Amino acid sequence: MKICVIGTGYVGLVTGTCLAETGNTVICVDNDKSKILSLKNGVIPIYEPELEEFVKKNIKEKRLTFTTDIQEGVNPSQIIFICVSTPPRADGSADLSFVENVARSIALYMNEYKIIIDKSTVPVETGQRVEETIKRQLKDKNIEFDVVSNPEFLREGSAIHDSMKPDRIVIGVSSQKAADILTRLYEPFQAKIIITNIKSAEIIKHASNSFLATKISFINEVSRICELSGANIEEVALGMGLDPRIGRQFLQTGIGYGGSCFPKDVSAFIKISEELGYDFKILKAVEKVNAEQIEFFIKKIEKTLWIIKDKKITVWGLAFKPDTDDMRNAPSIQIIEALVKDGAEIHAYDPVAMEKARSVLPEDVVFHDDIYSSLQGSEALVIATEWEDFKNADLDRVMALMEQPIVVDGRNIFDPSLMKEKGFMYTSIGR
């Protein structure tokens, strides 16, 4: 099929690339000229395992192209994905101005039947608004089209796997014609396809992310009880997670969720509910707990070290999660800002996120090119992201490099008994 993907951010680039990988002809459109030029040359603006390999392969096989000309993408394509940003406003609602502008542009260049798909995470009733926008723009033109909600469920760090082997595909439609075409489009992915109405599909996305965020905040609260009572949160989480009604995923305690999805989607779902006349009390608590968890961890560092001023502190992990360079809402930002405010000298290392981190962290943070150079003379090591490199670190070498063997682990990546045996003063979460 001939497909146009508008927006080459995280969702758009991965979606377009994976649809090309299954044999479709895909044109990706973006108004950022420098980004499009880079993509044409196979230079990927984000770090995501396997993505660069897939992009280069499909460019070479002429199934994937990039342009800044939206007409060039819309005209020949039967299916058009809207994958633009929906950033949060100050009140927590989603800014849909990019979606509206794209809808207007699509209508301007429509010449025959099209399926317009909202892939971006959008509030309920957005599909209806997109349809109304296109109809107004078309005016008297007699061109048939369908608007569809097809939310993405990609996890940064495993987005290619999640796209090629999804656990479900949700298609919110109002016509059988669009449902049949999209069912054929997604056949190669061999996944469970759920056909719903458009509003149900829109809510499925927000409800899914909000529920996962709720699990994270819940287990972080339980970790506080474990610390106060002397229980071990990892044993508690294991005992809970083996119940199939609960599940083990997202019961890993730590310093809270970050990234571009959970904070934005939880906030937006609260706002959507308010606009519909409902007070979503649980989600408000989820937000509050998440914010307090980072503050709790900062206080744990301060309590462990007593005096922060003039101490050299190493921070391992800057991205909000491993296997990505995404710094959006990364807990490391708030942690490092607090330590710098207290007068600490911060040395930092992350396997892939340091370039992006430079633009959002205090300018006096010292960045290192490898895991061990960051530790030389350090009086404390703070773990902010659970990269495999850190889990597999040579602890004897870590001990030898540090001025003081203090480790404050925000991700529980080390075994407390082993750390004690090695001679570290080790503090973690809920253990």
Question: Mean of the pLDDT values across residues 300-316?
Answer: 96
- Kindly give, in sequence order, each residue whose CB lies less than 8 Å from that of residue 128, ignoring residues fewer than 6 positions away: 147, 198, 199
Question: Mean of the pLDDT values across residues 1-12?
Answer: 95
Q: Is residue 204 pLDDT above 90, yes or no? A: yes
Would you state the pLDDT for residue 261? 85
Longest dimension (CA), the chain: 78
Would you state the pLDDT for residue 313? 98
Task: Give yes or no: 4 in active site.
Answer: no
Provide the residue ranges of all domains of the chain, joining segments of one domain with +.
Answer: 2-196, 197-431
What sign for the dihedral angle of Cα 423, 316, 87, 152? negative
For the stretch 403-417, pLDDT in tens is: 999 999 999 999 999
For the stretch 74-103, pLDDT in tens is: 999 999 999 998 888 888 888 889 999 999
Q: Is residue 343 pLDDT above 90, yes or no? A: yes
Among residues 65, 50, 62, 61, the alpha carbon closest in space to that of 8 is found at 65
User: Do the domains at 2-196 and 197-431 have one common CATH topology?
Assistant: yes
Q: Give residue 164's pLDDT band: very low, low, confident or very high (50, 70, 90).
A: very high
What sign for the dihedral angle of Cα 227, 231, 235, 240? negative
Helices (H) and strands (E) in the chain, counts: 17, 14
Q: How far apart are CA 425 and CA 431, in angstroms?
A: 14
Rounded to 5°, angle at Cα 269 from 266 and 270: 90
Tell me the CATH number of domain 197-431, given options 3.40.50.720, 3.40.50.920, 3.40.50.300, 3.30.70.260. 3.40.50.720
Active-site annotation holder among 18, 28, 83, 261: 261
Q: What share of the chain is helix, strand, coil (3-state, %, to 5)?
A: 45, 15, 40
Q: What is the mean pLDDT of the chain?
A: 95
- Kindly give, in sequence order, each residue whose CB lies less than 8 Å from that of residue 375, ignoring residues fewer than 6 positions away: 314, 347, 381, 398, 401, 402
CB distance 256 to 220 below 8 Å? yes
Cβ-defined contacts of 275-278 (< 8 Å, 24+): 275/93, 276/124
Query: Which of these ranges, 88-92, 285-289, 377-381, has the smallest mean pLDDT?
Result: 88-92
Q: Rounded to two decimals, what is the model's pTM?
A: 0.90
Q: Is residue 373 pLDDT above 90, yes or no? A: yes
Fold for the domain defined by 2-196: Rossmann fold (3.40.50)
